[in-house]
Amino acid sequence: MPGLIGRKVGMTSVYSAEGKATPCTVIEAGPCVVTQVKTEDRDGYEAVQLGFGDRKEKNTPSALKGHFKKAKVAPKSDLAEFNGFEDELKPGAEVSADLFAEGELVSISGKSKGKGFQGVVKRHGFGGVGESTHGQHNRMRAPGSIGGASDPARVFKGMRMAGQTGNSNVTIENLKVLKVMADKNILVVKGSIPGAKGSTVIIEK
Please tell me the predicted confidence (pLDDT) of residue 115: 95
SS3 180: strand
Report, at the CATH architecture level, how domain 3-120+171-204 is classified: Beta Barrel (2.40)
Which candidate, 14, 16, 67, places its Cα nearest to that of 181? 14
Burial 153-181 (b: 16+ CB within 10 A, else e): eeeeeeeeebeebeeeeeebeebebbebe
* Integer Cα distance of 101 and 82 in angstroms: 18
- DSSP 8-class letter at 113: P
* Integer Cα distance of 168 and 177 in angstroms: 24
pLDDT mean values, one per 10 residues, the chain (205 residues): 92 90 92 90 90 90 90 90 84 87 93 95 85 68 88 94 95 94 92 94 93
Q: Record the pTM.
A: 0.82
Other Cβ atoms within 10 Å of 11 Cβ, number: 13
User: What residues does each domain of the chain span?
Assistant: 3-120+171-204, 121-165
